[in-house]
Amino acid sequence: MSEISSDILKKAARGDIGAFEQIYKETSGFIYNVVFRIAGNKEDACEITQDVFMKIYRSLKFFKEQSSFKTWAYRIAANTALNFVRGKPKDVSGKVELDEIEEVSSGGATARDNIDREISQKRVKFLLDKLNPEQRVCIVLREMEGLDYKDMAKVLNININTVRTRLKRAREKLAGLVEKGDIKNGL
């Protein structure tokens, strides 16, 4: 996600719908991807993404540009998704539905490439679903979104040592699942 200009942010904060629409167009894919990885399915991700943009719209007038807009948006997206996942009953089936996986198509990809990519995405989703929400969001922000520990602590509004601990425990759990072969049983 590219940084949104200060001018656009100020216009949107004053109620300029065109400016907010520009923010939405530039950030919606990024927000959806973060939320999808935390929530784990399309329906919830769509609902949470709408909530995130409502929160951004209502809160933009309070954004003081002390951090980057990207960090601020990460915080809203991650926390909204975490709160949603915490409040949702746990799915005990452990099965991954094919239609819940994002289909990525590339012009020159072979059928085998598409199958391999789909299997990889299913495995990632299966593994993420095995983590508790706090661990999942840390893995998503670090390994998939590339945030450093300092930015993760800002986004999640937690101590940097808590970030390290959650990541360590998440990685240990994931390694244990892969080592035991549970990933093959879940797919």
Structural domains in the chain plus CATH codes: 1-89 (1.10.1740.10), 101-187 (1.10.10.10)
* pLDDT recorded at residue 163: 93
pLDDT at 106 over 50: no
pLDDT at 97 over 50: no
Helices (H), 60-148: 69-87, 111-129, 133-139
Tell me how far CA of residue 186 lies from CA of 62, 75, 158, 171, in angstroms: 44, 31, 32, 18
Higher-pLDDT residue of 100 and 46 is 46
Residue 124 CB coordination number (10 Å): 18
CA distance linking residue 56 with residue 1, whole number of Å: 16
* pLDDT recorded at residue 89: 64
pLDDT at 182 over 80: no
* Contact between 125 and 40 (Cβ < 8 Å): yes
Compute the mean pLDDT over every residue in the chain, rounded to the nearest whole number: 82
What are the tokens at 16? Answer: 């300029």
Please list, residue by residue across 152-172, b when 16 or more beta carbons sit within 10 angstroms of its beta carbon and e when fewer do. Answer: bbbbbeeeeeebeebbeebbe
* pLDDT recorded at residue 113: 67
What are the tokens at 81? Answer: 């998704």
CA distance linking residue 171 with residue 4, whole number of Å: 33
Higher-pLDDT residue of 178 and 182 is 178
Count CA within 13 A, CB hemisphere, residue 46. Answer: 4
Phi, then psi, of 96 in degrees rounded to 5? -105, 125
Tell the residue number behind the tokens 């991700």, with chain if given.
45
pLDDT at 137 over 60: yes
pLDDT at 160 over 60: yes
CA distance linking residue 178 with residue 121, whole number of Å: 15
- pLDDT tens-digit map of 116-127: 666 777 777 888
pLDDT at 101 over 50: no
pLDDT at 105 over 50: no
CA distance linking residue 103 with residue 154, whole number of Å: 32
The pLDDT of 26-53, averaged and rounded, is: 92
CA distance linking residue 112 with residue 79, whole number of Å: 37
The pLDDT of 157-185, averaged and rounded, is: 85
pLDDT band at 25 (very low <50, low <70, confident <90, very high): very high
With a threshold of 0.75, does the pTM exceed it?
Answer: no
* pLDDT recorded at residue 31: 93
